[in-house]
């Protein structure tokens, strides 16, 4: 049995979520950082959904997939850092 590969899309979500987390955590604390990463993931998927809806109304094909795993990927590295920061005394 082999493990599934991490797609480039999911990796991008994870990196961008980490960047959002680090920025918000530096400015407002680690809890706000995690909330910001979650919000970023949810807003990105909402924007994809909205774009697909507009494309469908214009008779075009959907440009993006809407996937709850994208939200999870966006929060994945942020959640790991959120959990690790108290362990290292930050």
* Cα–Cα–Cα angle for 30, 35, 36, rounded to 5 degrees: 95
Which residue range(s) make up the domain with 23?
9-57+67-85
How much is the pLDDT for 1?
62
Number of folded domains that form the chain? 1
Helix, coil or strand: residue 11: helix
What whole-number distance in Å separates Cα of residue 7 and Cα of residue 80? 19
pTM of the model: 0.86
Q: What is the pLDDT of residues 16-28, one digit of tens each?
A: 999 999 999 999 9
How much is the pLDDT for 35?
98
What whole-number distance in Å separates Cα of residue 39 and Cα of residue 79? 13
Q: What is the pLDDT of residues 26-65, one digit of tens each?
A: 999 999 999 999 999 999 999 999 999 998 888 888 777 8
């Amino acid at each position: 049995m082999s493990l599934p590969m991490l797609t480039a899309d999911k990796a991008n979500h994870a990196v961008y979520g980490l960047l959002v987390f680090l920025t918000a955590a530096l400015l407002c604390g680690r809890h706000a950082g995690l909330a910001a990463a979650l919000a970023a993931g949810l807003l990105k998927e909402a924007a994809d959904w909205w774009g697909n809806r507009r494309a469908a109304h214009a008779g075009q094909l959907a440009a993006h997939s809407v996937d709850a795993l994208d939200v999870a990927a966006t929060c994945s590295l942020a959640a790991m850092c959120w959990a690790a920061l108290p362990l290292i005394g930050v």
